[in-house]
């Protein structure tokens, strides 16, 4: 979706100013926000793409005025409410008033967190068909503007690039984010010249690469 998270190439937001020696957490509550997100993810009531979509679909004014972990917590709030894991009254009071709902996953204990994080969540899947493109092929990204989740950045749509790498077959987030199945698709790294994206004023030697799923691409 064309939400507030898709800021690539946007003007008017000022320069990127990395914080020197930035800490992992700026406040104790941010640690708890990460812990809550991990713990609730273990319930298996949603997947990683559903979590991303919950955050990306926040109202633009809220998203742009929130910090990183404030966005995480707002997205988590949407998810637990939507799945009946908590009520608005319980969130307001901080006390459980309804019987707990049985979940698909399990309790994530603190002692198990390092192993769970180390294992990760691989998205590679067996190929269901040969890839349509090969390294060196010219491709054009589709000019799509879905109301649902997508990992095709807005500023890359409708532009021509070259296949640089093939990463095998991976879960397709556009369907996975909405409970429509994983629909595994070939995943490519596509290289675009800076001039193709931002015009002739850019250095001809500059380029940008993006990992894009096959349904986003067509022959150039």
Domain 28-119 has CATH 3.30.470.10: no
16 confidence band (pLDDT: 50, 70, 90): confident
Read out DSSP for 119-184? H----B---SS--S--TT-EEEE-----SS---S-GGGTT-EEEEEEEEEEE--HHHHTTTS----
- Shared fold status for 28-119 and 138-219: no
60 has a pLDDT exceeding 90 = yes
In the chain, where the domains are located: 28-119, 138-219
Domain 138-219: which CATH class?
A: mainly beta
Read out DSSP for 21-50? T--S-SSHHHHHHHHHHHHHHTTTSS-HHH
| pLDDT of res. 32 | 95
- Tell me: the pLDDT tens digits for 92-148? 999 999 999 999 898 899 899 999 889 888 999 999 899 999 999 999 999 999 999
Instruction: Return the biggest CA–CA distance within the chain.
Output: 62
Angle at alpha carbon of residue 149, lines to 67 and 45, rounded to 5° = 80
Map tokens 């095709």 to a residue. Answer: 152
Both tokens of 146, joined, read 């879905």
User: What is the average pLDDT score of the chain?
Assistant: 95
| pLDDT of res. 11 | 86
Q: What is the mean pLDDT of residues 75-94?
A: 95
| pLDDT of res. 84 | 94
């Amino acid at each position: 979706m064309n939400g507030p998270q898709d800021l690539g190439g946007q003007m008017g937001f000022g320069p990127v100013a990395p914080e020197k020696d930035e800490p992992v957490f700026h406040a104790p509550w941010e640690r708890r926000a990460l812990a809550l997100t991990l713990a609730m993810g273990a319930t298996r009531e949603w997947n990683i793409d559903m979590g991303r979509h919950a955050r990306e679909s926040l109202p633009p004014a809220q998203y742009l005025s929130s910090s990183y972990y404030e966005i995480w917590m707002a997205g988590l709030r949407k998810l637990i409410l939507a799945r009946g894991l908590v009520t608005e009254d319980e969130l307001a009071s901080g006390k459980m008033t309804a019987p707990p709902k049985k979940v698909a996953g399990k309790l994530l204990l603190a002692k198990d967190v390092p192993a769970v994080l180390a294992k990760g969540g691989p998205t590679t899947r067996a190929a269901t068909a040969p890839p349509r493109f090969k390294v060196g092929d010219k491709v054009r990204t589709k000019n799509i503007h879905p109301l649902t989740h997508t990992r095709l950045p807005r500023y890359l749509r409708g532009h021509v690039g070259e296949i640089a790498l093939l990463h095998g077959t991976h879960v397709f987030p556009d369907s996975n984010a909405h409970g429509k199945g994983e629909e595994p698709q070939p995943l490519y790294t596509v290289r675009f010249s800076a001039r193709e994206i931002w015009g002739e004023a850019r250095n001809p030697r500059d380029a940008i690469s993006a990992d894009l799923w096959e349904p986003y691409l067509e022959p150039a």
